[in-house]
Amino acid sequence: MDTYYNGYRIDLGGAAPYYLSMEGPGHFNRLVSELSLEDRAALLEKLSNQSSISASVLYEESGNIQTVKSEPDFIKLPWYYKIWFFIVSFFNSRPPLKLYEEHIMAQHYRDLDETSPGFYHYQKDMLLPKFQEELIKLRDGSRFFYNALDASFNRDKGGLMVFLGSLELQEIHKKITAELDPAFLVSSNPNMEEMELRKKAVKTLEEILSGIGEEDKAKMYKNARSLFCLKQLASFLFDRLINSFIFDKSSQGYICPAASAQDQLILLNNILYSLKTPPPIALLQSLFVFVLMEKSDDPNFDIQNEMRRLLVQAEVSLQAIRDFNFEVPLTKLLRCISRDANYSAKTISGGEDWFVTFKDRWKHQVEENFLSFTRTRHQRDLQNAFRYFFKGTSLKTLEHIYSEQNPAGIKIRGSFCLSFLLTFYSVVLMGEASKFLRPILIDGEFIKKDNRTEFTESYNTLIKIEDRVKLFDQNLSSEGDFGKRYLQAKNDMSSLPVKRRKVQLVLEEAHNEADRIIDQTRDALDTMNKVLEGIIQKTDDGKYDTLGNLSVIAGRGTAFLDGVGETIQQFAKTLKLMDDIDKMEAGISASGY
């Protein structure tokens, strides 16, 4: 029988438990982890054959962009040109070379105004309305990649590179997943301690990665470069630049002093110059897999159709970049703005760290695999303990907490422990234990009044377990306090960081409430056991004492006292199992797997 708790599965039938990673920044979720290598490769092949992505370059330098060497070019001028510049120099007191450079810049502007009119006014040094219009088109076209990168690169850059590597470095990926599987390592090295196995795994990983060929490295670097340049363009501060334009009546449009925008335009030009070719299909597929994570739970979800839809949107965005580069000769324009005939775009750096990111993510993954392997063994121990402790009764589930059967539920820290306590309440507390606790509560004459108070308070806390857990579960429903606020936060139209923060605040409140129920129950069980132990045998410190009428309650024989002793053992076992559950859940929360 499979029982699910908050994203992982406890198989009470004896099979190895399987944990599905929790959704969130920095971790693969179901769509990523369950898409097999064969499925990934097959999907890539289909997308490559059916892709609407044009292979046309995004940026192509104009043929007449040439480097100007002012002094050598001036020396090579015909003698009559030189005489002319010397005569003009005599009348305006400027060096002939400077006049020649100004002449070159005027030629640049005439060429710009002839081939691409309406972008820039040289004499006024002003960007014109047409330029703002083209900037707005580029901004809107780039917005698609901003959202795609936020769902992938910004959340889990390493995970994205590993997924990309599964497409571009398939043999390396197969080798890593096969040779670094913890079960394989344990079976191959039965006498090796876990720490030694981990060291061996890291060493094996480094050996495998060192076998990546230069051609494959170049392929991954090209992807990383494209990814970085896309990110730079998508996150460029278009609005700051666009909003610097002010309405001008004479132009009947928005204009901007070119000098104030020069630095931003140089940065934009360098980005566009560096993003010369469309991103490879493998990179786009990797990006889109992460984009589609949130939709993967939809029963009608079709990854091929969704991928094709995103590819169409990507082509629209890439075409907007092409159109801008074709319409706006930004390098020529910047030569005029800077009055520098030798200005040219520069390649931005980025993507060189792909291998470090790739390697670090795999190291992290290897460590997580070992933690998962260790947790699986702990889970098996818990399964056996539950089966024995609850005499075969299955753990009770909570209706509004996330599970495989209820993907719309809310993921709550401590949910597994709450389910355990709910089962403890019906099987243990209201079973045999109540036969011995109730007589003490009703008829017990405590020698020490403080013992009576502690027993009563602990009993009341324990007897309310079921009501508190069920009330908490109901509060997670769409009609409950937590559930309503959670849905409001999820549907909030604020920016993504603000939205995430609102969701996190609701979840943290729910987590804290779950923790309170668990912690108060733990304290009640601990106190109850101390009082019961004092009843059976006065404690050494004298804090807990027996009952004045114990012999009356117990009657003849030892059955009652034996039952109290058994209750103490059951509560102690309950506390131990709660600690074990906490350790298991803490391990899951720390890793996200």
Q: Is the domain of 343 the same as that of 408?
A: no
CA 152 from centroid of its chain's CA atoms: 7
Q: What's the rounded Cα separation, in Å, for the pair 544 and 528?
A: 11
Res. 11 pLDDT band, cuts 50 70 90: very low
Average pLDDT over residues 566-578: 95
Has residue 108 been placed in a domain?
no
What per-residue confidence (pLDDT) applies to 307? 86
What kind and span of H or E run contains 126?
strand 126-127
| Neighbouring residues of 169: CB distance < 8 A, sequence distance ≥ 6 | 212, 216, 220
Asked if 341 and 219 count as a contact pair (C-beta separation under 8 A), the reply is no
Whole-Å CA distances, 97 to 67, 69, 73, 102, 159? 16, 11, 10, 9, 57
Has residue 111 been placed in a domain?
no
Q: What's the rounded Cα separation, in Å, for the pair 94 and 86?
A: 9
Beta-bridge partner residues of 257? 126
108-145: pLDDT as tens digits: 777 787 888 889 998 899 999 999 999 999 999 999 99
Average pLDDT over residues 35-42: 79
Average pLDDT over residues 269-296: 88
Q: Is the domain of 349 the same as that of 408?
A: no
Whole-Å CA distances, 581 to 382, 473, 516, 587? 8, 19, 16, 10
Res. 29 pLDDT band, cuts 50 70 90: very low
Last residue of a domain, one of 304, 328, 361: 361
Closest alpha carbon to 319 in 52, 3, 41, 7 = 52
Res. 236 pLDDT band, cuts 50 70 90: very high
Asked if 324 and 134 count as a contact pair (C-beta separation under 8 A), the reply is yes
Has residue 322 been placed in a domain?
yes
What per-residue confidence (pLDDT) applies to 4? 38
Whole-Å CA distances, 126 to 92, 251, 320, 332? 26, 11, 24, 15
What kind and span of H or E run contains 579?
helix 559-591
Q: What's the rounded Cα separation, in Å, for the pair 30 and 304?
A: 16
What per-residue confidence (pLDDT) applies to 28? 42
Q: How many helices (H) and strands (E) does the chain have?
A: 25, 6
Has residue 139 been placed in a domain?
yes
Closest alpha carbon to 415 in 7, 30, 13, 16 = 7
Question: Domain range for residue 41?
Answer: 35-63+126-169+212-361
Q: For the sheet containing 246-248, what is the strand order? A: 120-121, 126-127, 253-257, 246-248
Average pLDDT over residues 289-317: 83
Has residue 511 been placed in a domain?
yes
User: Which is higher by pLDDT, 583 or 438?
Assistant: 438
Instruction: Measure the CA dihedral 23/28/29/33, to 10°.
Output: -170
Whole-Å CA distances, 236 to 224, 345, 513? 18, 16, 42
Q: Is the domain of 331 the same as that of 396?
A: no
Length of the chain: 593
Q: What's the rounded Cα separation, in Å, for the pair 11 and 586?
A: 19
Average pLDDT over residues 329-343: 86
The answer on pLDDT for 545 being more than 70 is yes
Q: What's the rounded Cα separation, in Å, for the pair 470 and 142?
A: 48
Per mean pLDDT, which range of 79-88, 254-263, 271-280, 354-363 is the poorest? 79-88
Q: Is the domain of 393 the same as that of 517?
A: yes
Q: What's the rounded Cα separation, in Å, for the pair 571 and 197?
A: 38
Residue 428 DSSP label: I
The phi and psi torsions of 258 (rounded to 5 degrees) equal -65, -35
The answer on pLDDT for 294 being more than 60 is yes
Q: Is the domain of 339 the same as that of 393?
A: no
57-83: pLDDT as tens digits: 999 876 555 555 555 565 566 666 667
Copy the structure tokens of residue 507: 């979840």
Q: Within 13 Å of residue 498, how many CA atoms lie on the same side as its CB? A: 6
Last residue of a domain, one of 361, 394, 416: 361
Angle between helix axes 258-274 and 303-327 (nearest 10 degrees) is: 130
Residue 433 DSSP label: I
307-317: pLDDT as tens digits: 888 899 999 99
Copy the structure tokens of residue 42: 């097959």
Task: Give the 3-state DSSP-derived string for 278-345, with helices as H, strands as E and coil as C.
Answer: CCCHHHHHHHHHHHHHHHCCCCCCCHHHHHHHHHHHHHHHHHHHHHHHHHCCHHHHHHHHHCCCCCCC
Q: Is the domain of 479 the same as that of 354?
A: no
Q: What is the mean pLDDT of the chain?
A: 84
What per-residue confidence (pLDDT) applies to 405? 65
Copy the structure tokens of residue 568: 């103490």
Q: Is the domain of 288 the same as that of 407?
A: no
Q: Is the domain of 498 the same as that of 398?
A: yes
Has residue 102 been placed in a domain?
no
Q: Is the domain of 228 the same as that of 291?
A: yes
What kind and span of H or E run contains 386?
helix 354-389
Res. 5 pLDDT band, cuts 50 70 90: very low
Q: Is the domain of 357 the same as that of 409?
A: no
Q: What's the rounded Cα separation, in Å, for the pair 509 and 514?
A: 9
Average pLDDT over residues 11-28: 32
- Helix, coil or strand: residue 123: coil
Has residue 221 been placed in a domain?
yes
The answer on pLDDT for 16 being more than 80 is no
393-411: pLDDT as tens digits: 888 888 898 766 677 788 8
Residue 388 DSSP label: H
Q: Is the domain of 447 the same as that of 570?
A: yes
Q: Is the domain of 297 the same as that of 395?
A: no
For 410-426, b where at least 16 C-beta lie within 10 A, e where not — what string? bbbbbbbbbbbbbbbbe
Report the 10 Å Cβ neighbour count for 510.
26
Has residue 174 been placed in a domain?
no
User: Which is higher by pLDDT, 487 or 51?
Assistant: 487
The number of distinct structural domains making up the chain is 2
